[in-house]
């Protein structure tokens, strides 16, 4: 067992109001590594993955793999070796899967490998309705039979066949899950209205290096020619791409508090939408290869945004951006077009001194600048949790942020990394 969910510190204590300066590196992408770990089930021989972030979601996926029969070994600081030759268990660990949204992607390779999977409805952050009907309909179109009981789903799929499948709306994880099913199917699969996020061509690159035949990943139409049931061969050690959401988080941190913050090991093109918005707000962002330098402007201007699928202003930027806009001059309107529950954090921000009006579940107005005051707050989800860290660092006085497990789900040792920039933050 690589990691357990035993007793852990549950809060951050943050003393705000201090400028930050220095260099911070971006780690491997959470939304990439989870899919690559799941894909290991499609291999009979061991494979090695590098640049793996040491975050709670990774540990949960590893626990699910081990429960299914895989052996996972940490062979370097951020390097793991996965041997899925012992995969036998078709049931996802219910206690993990029901509180871990990423578990749904593991259903696809287990279906291919074992012909049957039993799992509860996957849970996770409370950010709005996240049904799995797109996954189920896609698997049914490939020949699956789905039985839904009061507590779990039972899916069987003996010989997945190629299909033409149109996503009713764009789904990143749905695109990836059906890709993982189609790579060893019989025949050709065409996925239409597919997601275009950078993690998708990255997953396709990994699979293609292993003998898969995937074309068009990164566009809205993906063609997968299945292997006809043949499992994949492991490539050379494969490195997880940098986390664009983490890079965006550090950009927003620098825009709010940075004298000069250098962000390294990133792909600036993956956060281009945010860079352009920040520049319009008066923030200096300098790009040099795989690094960015950001600093707080003398006067931050309010900018209105609308969330959109990549390459637009993605929903994961929204909460920390709202925090930044509390320090901007004027009114900013933020439209959330992806989820209907991503504004749960607003009440706590207003208690800290923000002036934010919720017009409806998809639109808020932020008046600024306002002085934020330290207080005790509860992290409601991963990205809002990071937004609270930003708010606490901006605020005058001391803040306590509880339920930091949500933050640890996506950010490796964020407290220690922020201390390296001069932040006053402790884990208790």
> In what order do the strands lie in the sheet containing 116-119?
116-119, 153-156, 145-148
Helix, strand and coil content of the chain, in percent to the nearest 5, comes to 35, 30, 40
How far, in Å, are 71, 92, 187, 221 from residue 184 at the CA level? 22, 21, 9, 19
Alpha carbons within 13 A on the beta-carbon side of 275: 17
Which residues 6+ apart lie within 8 Å of 416 measured at CB? none
If we measure between CA atoms, which residue out of 346, 337, 331 comes closest to residue 387?
Answer: 346
If we measure between CA atoms, which residue out of 326, 236, 315 comes closest to residue 274?
Answer: 315
Catalytic: which of 99, 125, 266, 413?
125
Distance of CA 291 to the CA centre of its chain: 21
Work out whether the CA dihedral 48, 49, 55, 59 comes out positive or negative: negative
For the question of residue 196 being annotated catalytic, the response is: no
Strand pairing of 79-83 and 284-288?
unpaired
- Concatenated DSSP letters of 241-275: PB-HHHHHHHHHHHHHHEEEEEEES--GGGGHHHH
356 phi and psi angles, rounded to 5 deg: -125, 130
Taking the C-alpha atoms of residue 295 and residue 284, their distance in angstroms, rounded to an integer, is 6
Q: Would you name the residues annotated as active-site residues?
A: 125
């Amino acid at each position: 067992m690589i990691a357990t969910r035993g007793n852990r510190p549950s809060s951050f204590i943050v003393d705000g109001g201090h400028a930050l300066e220095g260099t911070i590196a971006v780690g491997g992408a959470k939304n990439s590594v989870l899919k690559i770990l799941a894909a290991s089930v499609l291999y009979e021989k061991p494979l090695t993955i590098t640049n793996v972030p040491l975050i709670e979601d990774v540990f949960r996926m590893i626990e699910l793999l081990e429960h299914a029969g895989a052996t996972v070994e940490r062979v370097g600081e951020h390097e793991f070796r996965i041997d899925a030759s012992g995969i036998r268990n078709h049931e996802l660990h219910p206690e993990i899967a029901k509180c871990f949204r990423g578990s749904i992607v593991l259903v696809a390779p287990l279906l291919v490998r074992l012909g049957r999977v039993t799992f509860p409805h996957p849970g996770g952050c409370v950010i709005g309705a996240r049904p799995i009907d797109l996954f189920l309909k896609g698997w049914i179109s490939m020949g699956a039979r789905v039985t839904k009981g009061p507590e779990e789903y039972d899916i069987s799929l003996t010989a997945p066949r190629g299909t033409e499948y149109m996503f009713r709306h764009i789904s990143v994880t749905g695109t990836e899950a059906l890709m993982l099913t189609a790579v060893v199917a019989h025949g050709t699969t065409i996925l239409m209205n597919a997601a275009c996020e950078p993690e998708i061509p990255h997953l396709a690159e990994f699979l293609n290096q292993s003998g898969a035949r995937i074309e068009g990943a990164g566009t809205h139409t993906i063609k997968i020619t299945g292997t006809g049931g043949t499992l994949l061969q492991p490539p050379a050690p494969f490195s997880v791409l940098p986390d664009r959401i983490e890079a965006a988080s550090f950009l927003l941190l620098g825009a709010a508090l940075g004298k000069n913050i250098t962000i390294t090991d990133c792909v600036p093109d993956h956060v281009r939408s945010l860079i352009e918005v920040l520049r319009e707000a008066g923030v200096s962002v300098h790009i040099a290869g795989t690094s960015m330098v950001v600093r707080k402007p003398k006067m931050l201007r309010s900018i209105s945004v609308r969330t959109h699928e990549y390459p637009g202003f993605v929903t994961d930027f929204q909460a920390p951006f709202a925090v930044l806009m509390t320090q901007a001059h004027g009114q900013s309107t933020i439209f959330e077009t992806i989820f209907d529950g991503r504004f749960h954090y607003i009440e706590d921000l207003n208690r800290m001194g923000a002036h934010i009006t919720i017009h409806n579940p998809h639109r808020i107005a932020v008046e600024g600048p306002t002085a934020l005051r330290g207080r005790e707050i509860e992290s409601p989800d991963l990205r809002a949790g990071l937004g609270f860290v930003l708010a606490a660092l901006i605020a005058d006085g001391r803040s306590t942020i509880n339920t930091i497990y949500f933050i640890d789900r996506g950010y490796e040792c964020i407290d220690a990394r922020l201390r390296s920039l001069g932040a006053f933050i402790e884990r208790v």
